[in-house]
Amino acid sequence: MNVALLWFNSSTLVHLSPVDLIIIVFYFALVLAIGLYLKGQANTGEDFFMAGREMTAWVAGLAFLSANLGSLELMGWAGNSYKYGILAAHWYWIGAIPAMLFLALVMMPFYHICKTHSVPGYLKLRYGQGSQALSSISFALMTVLMSGINMYAMAVVMRVVLGWDIHFSIWVSSITVAIYVALGGLRSAIFNEVLQFFLIWAGALLIPILGLIEAGGWSGLQAKILQNLTEQHVPNPGSYTHLWSTLGNFSDNPMGINWAGIVFGLGAVISMGYWTTDFLVVQRVLSAKDLRSAKLAPIIGAAFKMMVPFIVILPGLLGLALLRDPHTGSLLRLVPGDLAWSPAGRAQGLHSYDEVLPLMLARYCGPGLLGLGITALIAGFMSGMAGNVSAFATVWTYDIYGALINKNASDESKVKMGRWCTLLGVGVSIGTAYLVMNAQSIMDYVQALFSFFIAPLFGTVILGMLWKRATPAAGFWGLLMGTASSVGMYAWVKIDPSAVRYVALSSQAQDQAQNMFRALWSCLLCVAVTVMVSYLTKPKSDAELADLVYGLTPIPKDEHVSVLHSPLFWGTVVAIVFVILQIVFW
Amino acid sequence: MKSGGSLSIWFFIGLSLAVNGAVILGRGIYELLYPPPEEMRVVLASLHANIWWGAILLMVGLFFSLRYSPARERAREQRNS
């Protein structure tokens, strides 16, 4: 049996031609070449872990966004928009833009001025080693686990879409990431993330353009969705193309959520926690060359983030309107992944929600364009994995190895440790991918665990930055209790499903709605515990909190900068466009 | 832009877009000359997306590749030093 037969089988969604393979192989060659080229520029700790802190606002901003734009993000949210309609766009708009602007204009000065290497590093400076150890160990563990589970899920999708052998996908893509990150450190990861950002857009942008032409524009798309869903007797068919008007009641929309869950759970807690304290994305902004660039980078990221629904959400909606069975001509109805990927589902030719993006890709893209689209998906996966691995290497080296194991480690030994950690991170990720192969439900647990950690961490960090009375003991106990309460609520609902009416305020709440409310309660509890313990314990002196807390940190003014170079000006522009989008799609 | 040595990230991006654009445009022209059978065509194949999308990628790629070519970057560094 030749190699080609090992990779492909006849039941795949799309078939690649030699032209497509040329494009994919060229991509792999280019990312490895970048890693080799940058090898000589990652000799010190600052170079390897912080990319020398010399990235421009554009490079840091695009890498900031690209590290989040993984392939599961692309395919998963396209699938979610098929399932939930345009409500999925909330995760790109209110679930990202306010938080990115808040990071840029309020929090970035503190991160930048204290010259921390990581978010746990900031917690050490602000609260002490207890909070640092708790957050760094949780973060390191969750990062590699998430990386491995994403890798496995990606390999499953590649098997379904392309017929690629699952081991082939896991090993080739992860070894490539390991090589270029271990060689060039964060600089190499960032360079490749910016490249991947362009490839993702080049490969995915054609789908919404051609889709809108076929559907007859936005109004034609709305009419087709309404007609198709009415034909299939789907409840509230009109709610699939409205962003806010169906959020008055839990039962009026396909997600089973109301406006409070979206505004407070997603917009105020989960989004703020992820975009301002998850080191995976914050590390990219910390690499900026100066404070103005560090403030502009998240604003540039926010401007492009607002456009991502065009290549992610719109294809899902187009799928609802246009996808038909090629044999019978009847409407094609996608189903949940576990049903579609079961032997019975495969035998019936069912497709999962997550396959809507590849299905649309195969609908419009012939040889060449198909290769570019598949390259976009692979690039998305690799940028997400490189983000996880480089963040893991930094947190392990500075916040675990350097803080707890070898406090006198030299800069040279830290770089060496960073390179080994990159390989270790990839190795553990591969191990995790194999671990979950026969236990797919673990994915649910780990994704939930990841969200447990992020929501309370935001409460701890934001109180630390804005309230000088917060004490070291309060930071530790607030973080611990917030995380524990989130885990507790998750376990409560698992043991007694009827508890969802208390945790998520509605017995109709779907998984996403439960995540929103659990995050909200755990963050509020973290803040409450932190405030209470702060009043019972001794605070740090003002001198100890200099450059760490609002009011005790002199923030440099952008006095000699024109309006067009001002972060505040561009932040305002992004905020105005954000509001206009909410009104247009209300 | 300080980007690591004499090769800028924008050069790599330009190179990638130019090569991909050239391959896609070439395939598009081939399909124009030798159209695939009806059952092998994608939806809206009559729009020849591979030709105009390949051409756009090629032009953008060439712009970045030439604007941030290694020779220009070296000259810029010499002027600044």
Which value does ipTM take for this structure?
0.91
CATH superfamily of A16-443: Sodium/glucose cotransporter (1.20.1730.10)
Pick from B4, B27, B49: CB nearest A41: B4
Q: pLDDT tens digits for chain A (586 residues)?
A: 333 333 334 456 678 889 999 999 999 999 888 888 888 777 777 778 777 778 889 989 998 888 887 766 788 888 889 988 999 999 999 999 999 999 999 888 888 887 777 888 889 889 988 898 888 888 888 888 778 877 877 787 777 677 788 788 888 888 888 888 888 888 888 888 888 889 889 988 999 999 999 999 999 999 999 998 888 888 888 888 899 988 888 777 877 778 888 888 888 888 888 888 877 788 888 888 888 889 999 999 999 999 999 999 999 999 999 988 767 778 888 888 778 777 887 788 788 888 888 889 888 988 899 999 888 888 888 877 888 888 888 888 888 888 888 888 888 888 888 888 888 888 888 888 887 765 545 545 555 666 678 888 889 988 998 899 999 999 999 999 999 998 899 889 888 888 888 888 887 777 767 877 888 899 999 999 999 999 999 999 988 888 888 887 777 776 677 888 888 899 999 999 999 999 999 9
Contact A182, A419 (CB under 8 A): yes
Handedness of CA B55, B61, B67, B71 (dihedral sign): negative
Q: Would you list the domain boundaries of chain A?
A: 16-443
Is residue B72 a part of any domain in this protein? yes
Q: Which residue type, as a one-letter code, is found at position A156?
A: V
Pick from A23, A54, A194: CB nearest B9: A194
Partners of A214 on chain B (C-beta within 8 Å) are 43-44
Q: What is the Cα–Cα distance from A314 to A74, expressed in whole angstroms?
A: 11
Within 8 A by CB and 6+ apart from B2, the residues are A54, A56, A289
Q: Is B2 on the interface with A (CB under 8 A)?
A: yes
Is residue B2 a part of any domain in this protein? no
Q: Report the Cα–Cα distance between both ends of chain B, in Å, rounded.
A: 14
Angle at B17 between CA A307 and CA A148, to 5 degrees: 65
Angle at A59 between CA A178 and CA B14, to 5 degrees: 85
Is residue B42 a part of any domain in this protein? no
Q: Is B50 on the interface with A (CB under 8 A)?
A: yes
The answer to whether A37 contacts B5, with C-beta atoms less than 8 Å apart, is yes
Is residue B30 a part of any domain in this protein? yes
Q: Is B32 on the interface with A (CB under 8 A)?
A: no
Is residue B58 a part of any domain in this protein? yes
The answer to whether B54 contacts A202, with C-beta atoms less than 8 Å apart, is no
Tally of structural domains, chain B: 1
The answer to whether A210 contacts B13, with C-beta atoms less than 8 Å apart, is no
Domain that residue B76 falls in: 9-35+47-80
Contact A483, A419 (CB under 8 A): no
What's this model's pTM, rounded to 2 decimal places? Answer: 0.84
Helix residue ranges per DSSP H, A368-510: 369-394, 411-435, 442-466, 472-495, 500-503
Partners of A60 on chain B (C-beta within 8 Å) are none
Q: Which residue type, as a one-letter code, is found at position A543?
A: A
Best residue in A311, A369, A374, A383 to probe B by mutation, most B CBs within 10 Å?
A: A369
Is residue B28 a part of any domain in this protein? yes
Pick from B16, B28, B31: CB nearest A199: B16
The answer to whether B16 contacts A195, with C-beta atoms less than 8 Å apart, is yes
**CA–CA distances in Å: residue A547 to residues A128, A283, A468, A497, B47:** 15, 19, 11, 46, 58
The answer to whether B13 contacts A22, with C-beta atoms less than 8 Å apart, is no
